[in-house]
Amino acid sequence: MTKKYFGTDGIRGEVGKPPITADFLLKLGWAAGKVFANAGNDFVLVGKDTRISGYMFESALEAGLTAAGVDTRLLGPMPTPGIAYLTRTLRAQAGIVISASHNPYYDNGIKFFSVHGTKLPDETENQIESYLEAPMTTVTSSKLGKAKRLSDAAGRYIEFCKASVPTRLDFGGMKIIVDCAHGATYHIAPHVFSEVGAEVIAIGIEPNGLNINEDCGATKPAQLAASVLANNADFGIALDGDGDRLIMVDHKGEVVDGDELIYIIAKSRIASGQMAGPVVGTLMSNLGMEHGLKSVGLNLLRAKVGDRYVMEMLSEHKGILGGENSGHIICLDRTTTGDGIIAALQVMAEMQCSGKSLHELKSGMQKYPQILINVKTTKKVDPDNNESIKKAVKALEAKLGEQGRVLLRASGTEPLIRVMVEGQQRELVENYALQLADEVKKAIDA
């Protein structure tokens, strides 16, 4: 069944434009409520990030769930992985996240978690979509759902994060900068890292509804790098607006991306005898990570881009570690979904156990230069079915041979074609990427 609304990461778009409107979210809450009510569990959790439209959509979802006869527990601002954790441990029927992750404030979206703290199966999403096509009804007044706020949600999640590393580890002496992107981790991440002993300087902790991800966080770590250098910190941690992405910065101000962090965690798991299965990356994962993992005896499997597909492949191959170079890192031996705070703690644990700096730990993996260019589109284009684009890609692949890769894909969340070229020589790779992006733009305009 082809889905009309659900993408690879829920439903997302610009606020005020279908489907991200108050009336649609009311209907979505009702449709989800009908599905979850049929399953018979007591309540659904609803959390959000800090963007201003979250207030409106929280109310709309609550009304829809109530009309369907489902009780709601409102969490307020909470990281996406925190909602996954609470859904599982509180035995909620489902968790609903109001967030557009790393997108600007004027976007928003909805993500769902199952009772197990994982993404909803396709079957459940299809059931929700079928109700979206049906007339909305309201249960009798005696069966209406009730809503209340859960006051201790943040504290529960903080303790869970801290428990993901051994209590014997003392992070005292580590001076770190934590950038919360003015997002959902602003009142959580600084507490986690300071309570495990680190000296924390927190930035990006003043959300006003409009500044989420603005020139900060995991997608824009320049401010964090400058702060690390200015404060002579040991390293920096950058989270995105909903807390499921992690990018770090070493003491030299150099960015350490998701591929390098996954490599570090993988080596740590090997050293402690806890590694299981292959590592799962994506089509965007750097060749350097593949070669680095191979040097320590691990295979890299490549899933389609999107943490949903990484999770599916991890499950299929019984792996515990995977993620994306953008910073989605999944440690299934610690939690059920991508979690920026927990991933950062795993890296810190390896620093403490090995006695090495972040800069030293990442040096075991040599990244290939990888250039990514986003080509904006005004209409839906499938690069795999466009003959002129396919011809340009084939010609470039012939030039690169075994020393590089080319990847084109349509974004699942934004109107973009992502053009990626990877190879050994940066200047050459940059030129190839620009040339290919130009060809893609010409093909779209035609």
Model pLDDT for residues 281-315, shown as the tens digit of each residue:
999 899 889 989 999 999 999 999 888 899 999 99
Yes or no: say if 177 and 239 are a contact pair by the CB < 8 Å rule: no
Give the separation between CA 350 and CA 267, rounded to whole angstroms: 9
Q: Which is the CATH superfamily of the domain at 257-367?
A: Alpha-D-Glucose-1,6-Bisphosphate, subunit A, domain 3 (3.40.120.10)
Give the residue extent of every domain in the chain. 11-150, 174-256, 257-367, 370-445
How many other CB atoms sit within 10 Å of the CB of residue 386? 18
Is 370-445 in the same CATH topology as 174-256? no
How many other CB atoms sit within 10 Å of the CB of residue 350? 22
pLDDT at 161: 98
Q: What are phi and psi of 183, to 5 degrees?
A: -115, -155
Model pLDDT for residues 230-269, shown as the tens digit of each residue:
999 999 999 999 999 999 999 999 999 999 999 999 999 9
Is residue 194 among the annotated active site residues?
Answer: no
In the sheet that holds 94-98, the strands lie side by side as: 11-14, 107-113, 94-98, 43-48, 71-77, 147-149
pLDDT at 305: 85
Q: With cut-offs at 50, 70 and 90, classify the pLDDT of residue 413.
A: low
pTM of the full structure: 0.90
- Kindly tell me if the per-residue pLDDT of 147 is higher than 80: yes
Model pLDDT for residues 46-103, shown as the tens digit of each residue:
999 999 999 999 999 999 999 999 999 999 999 999 999 999 999 999 999 999 999 9
- 370-445 has which fold? TATA-Binding Protein (3.30.310)
Q: Which CATH number fits domain 11-150: 3.40.190.10, 3.40.120.10, 3.30.70.920, 1.10.287.70?
A: 3.40.120.10
Model pLDDT for residues 102-130, shown as the tens digit of each residue:
999 999 999 999 999 999 999 999 999 99
pLDDT at 397: 92
Supply the DSSP symbol for 245.
Answer: B
Q: Which CATH number fits domain 174-256: 3.30.70.360, 3.40.120.10, 3.30.70.20, 2.60.40.10?
A: 3.40.120.10
Yes or no: say if 421 and 429 are a contact pair by the CB < 8 Å rule: yes
Mean pLDDT for the stretch of residues 372-392: 85
- Kindly tell me if the per-residue pLDDT of 142 is higher than 90: yes
Closest CA to 57 of 16, 93, 95: 16
Give the separation between CA 103 and CA 86, rounded to whole angstroms: 24
Least confident of 84-98, 381-395, 418-432: 381-395
Give the separation between CA 283 and CA 191, rounded to whole angstroms: 35
- Kindly tell me if the per-residue pLDDT of 415 is higher than 90: no
Angle (nearest 5°) at CA 444 between 443 and 446: 65
Model pLDDT for residues 209-226, shown as the tens digit of each residue:
999 999 999 999 999 999
- Kindly tell me if the per-residue pLDDT of 335 is higher than 70: yes
Alpha helices per DSSP H over 176-302: 189-195, 222-230, 258-271, 287-295
Mean pLDDT for the stretch of residues 358-373: 93
Q: Which residue in the list 53, 99, 101, 326 is annotated as catalytic?
A: 101
Yes or no: say if 86 and 103 are a contact pair by the CB < 8 Å rule: no
pLDDT at 378: 78
